[in-house]
Amino acid sequence: MIPGINGIELCRKLRLCGSQTPILMLTAKDASQDKVLALDSGAARLEIAA
């Protein structure tokens, strides 16, 4: 967890600033909607933690 901001917002901000660094998100959320949101925000890859 990131204090003060969630991973989706951080990813969006990085992409809006022009960052092209690959972003790997690790999450416990496994709903299809959450996966699409993460990838649409600019994540290069999404891993679901068991």
pLDDT in tens, 1-50: 789 999 999 999 999 999 999 999 998 988 999 999 999 999 999 999 97
Q: In this predicted structure, what is the pLDDT of residue 1?
A: 76
Q: In this predicted structure, what is the pLDDT of residue 29?
A: 87
Q: In this predicted structure, what is the pLDDT of residue 30?
A: 87
- At 43, is the secondary structure helix, strand, or coil? coil
* Token output for 5: 């901001």
Q: In this predicted structure, what is the pLDDT of residue 2?
A: 83
Interatomic CA distance for residues 7 and 11, integer angstroms = 6
Q: In this predicted structure, what is the pLDDT of residue 25?
A: 93
Q: Spell out a b/e string for 6-37, using b for 16 or more CB atoms within 10 Å of the CB, else e.
A: ebbebbbeeeeeeeeeebebeeeeeeeebbee
Count of CB atoms situated within 10 Å of the CB of 41? 19
Q: In this predicted structure, what is the pLDDT of residue 50?
A: 76
